[in-house]
Structures are given as C-alpha cells and as structure tokens.
C-alpha cells in the first residue's frame, strides 16, 4: 500500500508509520531509552521550556538557512547522528539516510555498527560523510577502521564517549530483541503481522554489521550486540589514549557525548574540532541533564574554539532554531530520520528532512528572523 504523504505532516506521524512497518521488539530498540527513560523524555521536554519572542512587520520573503560548519557551508544547521543497525528496519537504510542528507545539503554520520559498509555508503551516497567510531579493545582493528574511513574520504571522525559500558535498555530483554535477530516462538505472530518487513528480510537477507564483517570477534558465536559492547568496547578509553587517535586522524575530529564545561575544555586541549552535546538520545546513562540544558555551559566553555553540535530530542524545525539560538553550530537528529527510513526507506528519510527543513523556514518567518546565522538567545525566554 503506498503512503499518502500529504497526511504525514510531522515527525510524530513518521514515528507512527515506523511502528506499523517494523515488529514491536525492533521498534522498542529504535524508540526506547535507558532504565526509566527520564533522559529520553527530558531531552524533548527541554525544548518546550523555551518560548519564542516573535518580531512582527519584518520582510521575511527571503529566508537564509545556511551556516558554516568546519569552514564549509551547510544548507541548514542540521546533521544526521549515527544510529547503528539501521538496516534492521529497512534494507541498506544507511545508504538511504546518507543520500537524503546529501540531497538536503547536510552531513550524515555513519555508525560503527552499521549494516552498510563505510565504503559502500561513500560509493553509493556521497555528500558530506562523517564516521562515528566506537573505540574497541582490539586497538589494531580500531586503527584499521580509522584508516578505512580516511581512505574513503570521510570528512570527520566522531568518537563516542558515553558508551564505556552498555546502557541498560530494558525494552530489549522484555521484548526479546537481540542482535543477531533470533525469532522467538512468542514473537512469531508479531513477525507475521509485519509481512512487508518479513519479505524484505527474506529477499535481502538478515542484515549484518557490515563495517565489522572482517573482524573475527564480531562473527564468533551468537553474542548479542549488548554483550559485544560489554566485552569488546574499550572501557579504559580516556583523554590520554584519545591523543593517539587525534594523531592518527588528520581531518576533523568530533567528540560525542560531552555535557559539561570540563569535558569541553578537555576537548579543546586535545585539539578536537568539534563536540556533540549529547546523552546518546537517553539510551546510555539515564537522568543525565537534557542536552539542550547542557548546551549553554558547553558553548560558554568552548564555543569560540570548537563547533558545538547537539543532539537528543530534536523533532521539530523550531527545536533546531532554539538550539542555534543557544549557541549550537547545528543540531543533529537520530530518531527523526530513523523513523522516516524505518517507515519507507529513502522516501521516508527524505520526507523527514522535508518536514524539518520546511518547519525551520516557516518558524524563522513567523519569528521575524530572516537569517539563521543572526539567531541569538534574544529570540527566546524561559517560559
Ligand atoms: C537506534 C539507535 C541507534 C544508535 N546507535 C548509535 C551508535 O551506533 N553510535 C552512536 O554514537 N550513537 C548511536 N545512537 C545515538 C544517536 O547518535 C543520537 O545521539 C541520538 O539518537 C540523539 O537523540 P534523538 O534520537 O532524540 O535525536 C543511536 C540512537 C538510536 C536511536
């Protein structure tokens, strides 16, 4: 059945469509957060606490949404965050997401545990590509990943800092979600209720973590991704060991998961080019400060020296404007485009970006501000 896109008008609508397309355990993996999901809901709620102070009788017939990121313009102050295993929801979802990002003139970040290889994404999508690195205990393999990203001309390396151990995401064990997928008898009826998704798996095969396909450890036994994170991610990673990665990567280096001025200052001292103010979309440590609430502190500490990106809870174009007004260079989106691709592949990813970019333009016009670069805290107040 084809989708009547004229009725899909918000990211929340795309979320509902995604929920219909994928089986319940997979939807829980995408949608859920850690423990009581306080950080997950706070991320979103933090945006609603800021109210706009609109100006009127301003000529808003032209809206300029371009901003500079690492010395090169992007068409909107937006980028796509890394989301591992996206291909479980739609075949080659990462290629679809990267193509949509390229079409809208914004960067796309490919996750280490992605189901399309970084080489394939570079070949088939192009655009501004960043590679997100999980530092593994296997240092040689980690450096091999870095070298592959360099060889495929990725613009930036995004090192995630908030996964020293796996977060406690309680929806997954409750629903029986595992990687690799292991259908359970009690989930059979649920799977049969999603014939299109089942058909995609039957025709394209069960997605694998292609980026790690030649890594012996990723292929041994039937360990779940959570077990792999627990045993294979480098929990000893620290500012000292990060220096080796800084030295090994000559292009832009971004650190993801920074929520405090102290860590932002460390990032400057390391020679990073950017940070992502992020709590992993509420999927790691629950009850962290909402990323928007952490943003001003990080901007004060490092905004002059680093690109300050932010993710977590961005579901509206107006959220992007609020982030920018509080000093972010650009906002990043994880689930918003993931819902799109999970609902309808590349078309869905496009639709998610169409919704957000149209909302950015509309909110700018209604706010009486024509240039995104001119936004500052004066356009809002706490309400
Ligand atoms: C299904 C899913 C998988 C994710 N996988 C990764 C990952 O592999 N690496 C990473 O650094 N962050 C990962 N994240 C976190 C996102 O990069 C991002 O921080 C988060 O989704 C932002 O919040 P939002 O979804 O509310 O936009 C994942 C998020 C989701 C929802």
**pTM reported for the whole predicted model:** 0.97
For ligand 1, atom 29, the nearest C-alpha belongs to: 83
What is the β-pairing status of strands 330-333 and 78-80? parallel
Q: What is the pLDDT of residues 239-252, one digit of tens each?
A: 999 999 999 999 99
User: Lowest mean pLDDT: which of 62-66, 223-227, 305-309?
Assistant: 223-227
Write the CB contacts of 292 (distance below 8 Å, at least 6 apart in sequence).
43, 46, 47, 50, 310, 312, 313, 322, 323, 326
Query: Which residue range(s) make up the domain with 215?
Result: 5-382
d(CA 31, CA 29) in angstroms, rounded, equals: 6
CA distances from 3 to 7, 108, 376 (A): 9, 25, 39
* Most confident segment among 205-209, 216-220, 263-267: 263-267
Specify the pLDDT at position 223.
Answer: 54
Regarding the beta carbon of 15 and ligand 1, being less than 6 Å apart is answered no
For ligand 1, atom 2, the nearest C-alpha belongs to: 83
> Looking at 24, 103, 194, 280, which residue is catalytic?
280
d(CA 41, CA 193) in angstroms, rounded, equals: 29
Instruction: Give me the CATH number covering residue 82.
Output: 3.20.20.70
Mean pLDDT of the chain: 95
Cα 312–chain centre separation: 8
Q: What is the pLDDT of residues 2-23, one digit of tens each?
A: 899 999 999 999 999 999 999 9
Distance 130 CA to ligand 1 centre (A): 14
Which atom of ligand 1 is closest in space to residue 158's alpha carbon?
Answer: 11
Binned at pLDDT 50, 70 and 90, residue 222 comes out as: very low
Q: Say how many domains are in the chain.
A: 1
Which has more confidence, 191 or 168?
Answer: 168
The stretch 244-272 carries a mean pLDDT of 98
Distance 58 CA to ligand 1 centre (A): 38
Most informative mutation of 43, 47, 88, 111 for ligand 1 (most atoms within 8 A of CB): 111
The neighbouring-strand residues paired with 310 are 277, 331
Specify the pLDDT at position 226.
Answer: 67
């Amino acid at each position: 059945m084809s989708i009547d896109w004229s009725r899909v008008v918000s990211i929340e609508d795309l979320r509902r469509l995604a929920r219909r397309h994928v089986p319940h355990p997979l939807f829980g993996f995408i949608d859920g957060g850690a423990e009581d999901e306080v950080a997950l809901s706070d991320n979103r709620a933090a945006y609603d606490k800021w109210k706009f102070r609109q100006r009127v009788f301003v000529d808003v017939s032209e809206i300029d949404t371009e901003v500079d990121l690492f010395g090169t313009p992007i068409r909107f102050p937006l980028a796509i965050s890394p989301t591992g295993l996206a291909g479980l929801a739609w075949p080659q979802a990462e290629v679809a997401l990267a193509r949509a990002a390229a079409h809208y003139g914004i960067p796309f970040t490919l996750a280490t545990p992605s189901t399309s290889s970084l080489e394939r994404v570079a070949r088939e999508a192009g655009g501004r590509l960043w590679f997100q690195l999980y530092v593994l205990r296997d240092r040689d393999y980690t450096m091999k990943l870095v070298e592959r990203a360099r060889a495929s001309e990725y613009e930036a390396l995004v090192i995630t800092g908030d996964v020293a151990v796996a977060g406690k995401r309680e929806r997954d064990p409750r629903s029986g979600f595992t990687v690799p997928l292991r259908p359970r008898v009690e989930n059979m009826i649920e799977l049969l209720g999603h014939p299109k998704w089942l058909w995609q798996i039957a025709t394209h095969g069960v997605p694998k973590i292609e980026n790690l396909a030649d890594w012996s450890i990723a292929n041994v036994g039937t360990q779940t991704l959570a077990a792999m994170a627990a045993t294979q991610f480098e929990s000893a990673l620290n500012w000292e060991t990060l220096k080796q990665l800084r030295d090994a990567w000559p292009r832009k280096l971004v650190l993801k998961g920074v929520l405090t001025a102290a860590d932002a200052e460390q990032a400057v001292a390391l020679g990073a080019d950017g940070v992502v103010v992020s709590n992993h979309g509420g999927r790691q440590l629950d009850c962290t400060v909402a990323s928007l609430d952490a943003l001003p502190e990080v901007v004060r500490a490092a905004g002059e020296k680093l690109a300050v990106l932010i993710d977590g809870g961005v579901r509206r174009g107006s959220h992007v404007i609020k982030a920018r007004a509080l000093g972010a260079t650009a906002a990043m989106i994880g689930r918003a485009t993931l819902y799109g691709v999970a609902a309808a592949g590349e078309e869905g990813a496009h639709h998610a970006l169409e919704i957000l970019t149209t909302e950015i333009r509309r909110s700018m016009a209604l706010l009486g501000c024509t240039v995104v670069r001119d936004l500052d805290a004066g356009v809002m107040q706490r309400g």
